[in-house]
Structure 1
Amino acid sequence: MGLNRIIHMLTRMVSRRAMNWGINKGIDRIAKSGGKPAPVSAKQARDMRTAVKRARQAARLTRRIGR
């Protein structure tokens, strides 16, 4: 492999990790939505966790399609 190819591969790996980190941080921040969380029932908390999980899956799928 040429040096250019190795550098390109490393750049893609670093940028992919940075993008994953940024997306996860953004989703976590939106899920927290500010200061004190309002009291929620167990069902609402479970539903919110499910929604966050689905959002992460959709983001992963979108990134895979974009490759």
Structure 2
Amino acid sequence: MNANQIINIVVRMVMRRLVRSGVNAGVGAVSKRRNGDKEMGAKPPNSAEASKRAKQTIRMMRRLR
């Protein structure tokens, strides 16, 4: 092994760590932004509630016409 190969190995190791930390930071930022919009403890509506609201909206739109 010559000096050039050793330097390349070390540079690859450092770059791998830097890229990994950058990707982790980016994923964490996106995850934080996505979860930050929701209130803590708020649960998403289930399908029955969603379908009930959709039916009510359709009825209201029919009355408006």
TM tier, shorter chain? 0.5 to 0.7
**Pairs within 5 Å for 1:1-67:** 1-33=1-33, 36-41=36-41
In the aligned structure 1, how far is the partner of 2:16 from the partner of 2:43?
34
Q: Any runs of at least 4 consecutive aligned residues in structure 1 with deviations exceeding 3 A, and if so which?
A: 40-44
User: Which protein shows a greater Rg?
Assistant: 2
What is the TM-score of this pair, normalised by structure 1? 0.53
TM-score, normalised by the number of residues in structure 2: 0.54
Instruction: Give the % identical residues.
Output: 35
For CA contacts below 8 A with separation 6 or more, give which structure has more relative contact order.
1
What is the total number of aligned residue pairs between the two structures? 43
Structure 1, unaligned stretches of length 5 or more? 45-67
Runs of at least 5 residues in structure 2 that lack an aligned partner in the other structure: 45-65
- Seen in structure 2, the aligned counterparts of structure 1 residues 43 and 3 have a Cα distance that, compared at 3 Å, is farther
